[in-house]
Amino acid sequence: MIPRRSLLRTTLALVGGATLSTGVTAGSAESTTASTQRDDTVTTAVATLEPSVIEVTGLPDPLDSLVADARDRTRSLSLEDIASVTGRAAIHGDAVVGGRAVVTGSFDTQAIESELRDHDLEFVAADRRDDGDSRFVASNDSYAVAVGPSAIRIGYGRTRSRARSRLDAAFEPLLPARRRTRPTASYGALSALLDGHAVVYADLGSGTRSHLLDSLSDAPDELGTVVEAANALGVALEAGSARTRLRYGVVADPARLSGELLETLVDEATTGDNSLSSATIHRDGQTVIVDAAVETRSLWCAHERLVTDSS
């Protein structure tokens, strides 16, 4: 598990840890060969976030602690400086094993570079590339960072060499074309169907699937069945001060995920206090989309209630 010690790790937490708020540890990584094979051991997650939405929705534990800790420790950068965070994360079980992220905004590069040199990971300057950004590699961990006036790029891997290669990859597009209409092998049509202030989707490897099922031991059986059947899962939110729009996506074999089961789960999620509302289910082949809404102040309570409420 990666400790909660810095803005870098918090950025990676928002990309990787927020993927599934039921317990995947914070970090970032990438698997270049995602697969819908049931015995695949690595989960590949893709995420994008507008940090300003955090001021509207807040964050659940442990992400709120990560952000608060980063704010306390980081002098050169704040959430107000950041326009967006995007990234790809490869997760093995509950641990992030490598990856890349891009933070865009308006940055004081001299202040950030100075703080990196003084960081407890002991970043040292690396050779500049044609992109003109200043590059740094951690001496005490496998992180690499490139700092520019409008983008900070981060690479993480199990070795410094892999961190550098992930950093190089962070100069390429991190997300597939939003308007792609042909389903991908890993995520079905989720990349085209999910949009908003925060979006995350992941193909599920066997290790992460098992971890999630353990995390959902007190949840309704129907939710566990969805996780067991899903080749990929995703969620997007569009937050307003009063209400938040949610869209959930699942890619699964229809033979393993019946309409009746989905309707039962939606009934669970829309019943009682602090619940979702206005839920509708749409199915197209292997892709299932559930649209819903929730009072913004109840956003996290509604999900916590669902995943901890035994049926």
pLDDT at 311 (0 to 100): 44
The predicted-structure confidence for 63-99, as pLDDT tens digits, reads as follows 777 777 767 777 777 778 889 999 888 888 777 888 8
Per mean pLDDT, which range of 34-48, 126-140, 219-233, 256-270 is the poorest?
Answer: 34-48
| Single pTM value for the model | 0.82
The predicted-structure confidence for 173-216, as pLDDT tens digits, reads as follows 866 554 444 555 578 889 899 999 999 999 988 888 888 888 88
Q: Give the residue among 30, 33, 31, 28 at the shortest CA–CA distance from 15.
A: 28
d(Cα 110, Cα 224) in Å, to the nearest integer?
A: 48
pLDDT at 289 (0 to 100): 96
pLDDT at 4 (0 to 100): 29
The radius of gyration computed from the CA coordinates of the chain, to the nearest angstrom, equals 19
17, 109, 110, 204, 299 from 196: Cα distances, Å: 18, 29, 32, 22, 15
Evaluate if residue 243 carries a pLDDT over 90. Answer: yes
Q: Identify the three-state secondary structure at position 10.
A: helix
With 0-12 CB in 10 A as exposed, 13-18 as middle and 19+ as buried, what is 184? middle
Rounded to the nearest integer, the mean pLDDT of the chain is 80
Is 208 in contact with 93 (CB distance < 8 Å)? yes
With 0-12 CB in 10 A as exposed, 13-18 as middle and 19+ as buried, what is 243? middle
Q: Which domains are assigned to the chain?
A: 7-169 (no CATH), 190-308 (3.30.565)
Beta-ladder partners of 45: 89, 202
d(Cα 245, Cα 296) in Å, to the nearest integer?
A: 9
Is 250 in contact with 189 (CB distance < 8 Å)? no
Question: Which tops the pLDDT comparison, 283 or 8?
Answer: 283
> Which residues have a Cβ under 8 Å from the Cβ of 308 and sit 6 or more positions away?
218, 219
pLDDT band at 134 (very low <50, low <70, confident <90, very high): very high
pLDDT at 276 (0 to 100): 94
